[in-house]
Structure 1
Amino acid sequence: MFLFIRLWVTRGTLSPIAILLAACALQTAILALAQHYHVPGMRFVQPITATLVPPIAWCAFQWTAVRPANRSDLLHLLGPLTAVAALITAPRFLDIFVPGTFAVYGCAILFLSRKGPDAQPRSFLVDGNLPSRIWQVIGAALIVSAFSDVLIVAAIAGGFEHLRPWIISLFSIGNLLLIGIISLSDHLRAEETNQEEPRRTSSTEAEQQVWKRVQTYMEDHRPYLDPDLTLLRLSRKLGVPAKTLSTIINQETGENVSRYVNDARIAAAQKALIDGESVTSAMLSCGFNTKSNFNREFLRIAGSSPSKWLANEMAPENQP
């Protein structure tokens, strides 16, 4: 709950990530009340609230990285409603349904996040692959929560029933806390917009024209200098669907959009360093807002840190 309040206060809005944190806080509280304090009725509430966490994590992933919310997201309420029905008619079914829900949503997040930044048009390109990796951790955490139920069955079969509440608490609270902590990462920021993406109109000749437009736009307008640039925002400026734009850039450069944009940023930073700007000034002027992102991308492209690269470039043997 502290992490939820901190995120809400610092960002000034009830974001999808904040909603996920609130769900994690609720579930950890109910777990404690049911398994350790034995509050009447909490054992019946626990499986219902548990089935809320995975779909909220999925929606947070979609709304933060992929697309805005839409009415189809209401279908995810079928999970908790199924849990309520099972609690009334077939309680034993919950032993399969609850961990299955965590496993299915965890695998879905893990699978889609592995596609990288081009499949996450709402993520900021300056963050590179980090948002994808964070979502992979969240997906894996959901899967681990499902695995804890296997341990519970093994403990019961082995005559260690007394370990059941500890397994539930340690695995569930540990994983939910992990989700909470990494959810505070600035790399899970997302562009807030309700504008629609342009309609797809593509052919081989049209794609070649789009690529020329991309090169011209990058050279003339230098959109990469904006640290808040996203694939979605770039696609709107060019009037090209995000998926089409990422495909064309990948075909022409062999890299994803994030790397293509960050290549241009590092080239601008290198020019600024040669012109006498400090490392920090060059970092800020070329579209990076954190040293970690800047140093990571500079090392990837130049093979060394900015200071070492500059020293090598300014060495007498490298001067014209």
Structure 2
Amino acid sequence: MLPPSRGDATTQTLAGNMQTPSMLVLPIPMIIALVLGAFLIRIAISGERPPFLMALLAACALQSLIVSLRQHYGIGALLPLQPITATFVPPLTWLAFQTASFRPFSLPRDLVHLAAPAFAAFCVVFAPGTLDTVVPAIFVLYGLAILVKLHRSGDDLPLARLEAGRLPARIWGGIGLALILSALSDALIALAIMTGQTGLPPVIVSVFSSAALLAIGLLSISPNAMGETEAESPPQNPHPSEEDAHLVQRLDALLQTDTLYLDPALTLARLARRLHVPAKQLSSAINLVNGENVSRYINRHRIHHACRALEDGANVTEAMLSSGFNTKSNFNREFRRITGTTPREWRPEAGNQR
């Protein structure tokens, strides 16, 4: 995700081929550090992101800063620190993914992830020649872990918001791929050094740093990174059981008496807690009985509420906000999917209202 560390030989070769940049031109890693730092400050002020996402942004900003100071400004004292800070990024990404999508942080369970930077520190001291293999391996393993977790869950993120649809899973999948691609940059740099193309490593670092900025920036500025997703693929068993039908009936009754769907922050986990069943069981039952995922099921209730609001004289924006939607794009898309028309066309006189 960020420019990974190199072994002693690789880093020294890079340093020998880097020149101090003009004071009027900032190197790309420095720009990345500044942008990520700005994101971090904005998030810290707003208080709208979990602590592990903030820690991830801080680690990425710090790593970009170290890369810039080490490779572009020749501060050799940072050489031993670079691989250690790099290996904080993958476990923090994993913890941000887990705590935003699946479960709360558990100290006994999650403390094991400190092993990655601890092992990197061990290699810096006792086996620096292994860093060109160890650091990329850590990035690849955590990237694959995120992708495998998403695949096994069927994109079902119980702690995320229902309104966001499948976008959160796609964002996290992109972050997992970014970790893997970051390891690929290590391989490309090593290949360039081995073949004598000593001018290529700075270019490779800059390109992959830009890709990392795009991935982290997307994660940090999008509220959908914390959004809800459920599987849209059909379940393996196409026939709902009586238990499934009864569970959906209970959910329908709950939504009739307690309009939870009007809450934009509604999650699958919250619905499951109200019904005292596992989130996976509830998601599966809705898929089996209704042939749609939880997000579409809830949005159907929201759109029906919006239709009634429009008929009662509300304008489009009022109907959208009162029905549990936060964005007009999602509201308009779901309205057309369910009713076959747009909110303004649903009640002609609404076209003269905002």
TM-score using structure 1 length: 0.86
> How far apart are the structure 2 equivalents of 1:38 and 1:109?
35
> How far apart are the structure 2 equivalents of 1:139 and 1:158?
29
Instruction: Give 1:85's match in structure 2, choosing from 117, 122, 132.
Output: 122
Say if 2:199 is the partner of 1:162. Answer: yes
Instruction: Give 1:48's match in structure 2, choosing from 73, 84, 87.
Output: 84
Aligned to 2:97: 61
Contact 1:123 1:189 in 2 (8 A): yes
Residues 148-159 of structure 1 aligned to structure 2 (within 5 Å): 148-159=185-196
> How far apart are the structure 2 equivalents of 1:2 and 1:209?
50
Contact 1:36 1:165 in 2 (8 A): no
Distance 1:152 1:300, change over 3 A: farther
Aligned to 2:17: none
Instruction: Give 1:8's match in structure 2, choosing from 40, 44, 68.
Output: 44
Contact 1:27 1:50 in 2 (8 A): yes
Say if 2:167 is the partner of 1:130. Answer: yes
Distance 1:137 1:262, change over 3 A: same
| One-letter code aligned to 1:22 | A
> How far apart are the structure 1 equivalents of 2:311 and 2:76?
70
| One-letter code aligned to 2:146 | I
Name which of structure 1's ranges 100-109 and 51-60 shifts more when overlaid on structure 2. 100-109
Say if 2:320 is the partner of 1:266. Answer: no
| One-letter code aligned to 2:101 | A
> How far apart are the structure 1 equivalents of 2:68 and 2:336?
46
Say if 2:158 is the partner of 1:112. Answer: no
Alpha-carbon offset, residue 48 of structure 1: 1.0
Aligned to 2:217: 180
What SS is found at the alignment partner of 1:216? Answer: helix
What SS is found at the alignment partner of 1:228? Answer: coil
Alpha-carbon offset, residue 303 of structure 1: 4.3
| One-letter code aligned to 2:40 | F
> How far apart are the structure 1 equivalents of 2:217 and 2:204?
19
Q: Deviations over 1:57-109 (max 9, x none)?
A: 11101101111001211111111111111222222222122112212222222
Distance 1:178 1:204, change over 3 A: closer
> How far apart are the structure 1 equivalents of 2:167 and 2:300?
16
Alpha-carbon offset, residue 224 of structure 1: 0.6
Aligned to 1:35: 71
Contact 1:99 1:145 in 2 (8 A): yes
> How far apart are the structure 2 equivalents of 1:307 and 1:117?
35
Gaps of 5+ in 1: 192-202, 315-320
| One-letter code aligned to 2:258 | H
What SS is found at the alignment partner of 2:80? Answer: helix
Contact 1:24 1:180 in 2 (8 A): no
Q: Deviations over 1:225-270 (max 9, x none)?
A: 1111111111111222212111111111122211211121122212
| One-letter code aligned to 2:81 | V
| One-letter code aligned to 2:76 | P
Alpha-carbon offset, residue 181 of structure 1: 4.1
TM-score using structure 2 length: 0.78
What SS is found at the alignment partner of 1:280? Answer: helix
> How far apart are the structure 1 equivalents of 2:155 and 2:74?
47
Distance 1:213 1:262, change over 3 A: same
| One-letter code aligned to 2:260 | P
Alpha-carbon offset, residue 24 of structure 1: 0.9
Alpha-carbon offset, residue 205 of structure 1: 4.9
Contact 1:118 1:258 in 2 (8 A): no
Q: Deviations over 1:137-159 (max 9, x none)?
A: 21222122112122212312332
Instruction: Give 2:265's match in structure 1, choosing from 228, 232, 243.
Output: 228
Alpha-carbon offset, residue 121 of structure 1: 0.9
Alpha-carbon offset, residue 173 of structure 1: 5.0
> How far apart are the structure 1 equivalents of 2:335 and 2:135?
45
> How far apart are the structure 2 equivalents of 1:295 and 1:114?
29
Contact 1:225 1:265 in 2 (8 A): yes
What SS is found at the alignment partner of 1:123? Answer: coil
Identity of aligned residues (%): 47
Aligned to 1:240: 277
What SS is found at the alignment partner of 2:76? Answer: coil
Aligned to 1:143: 180
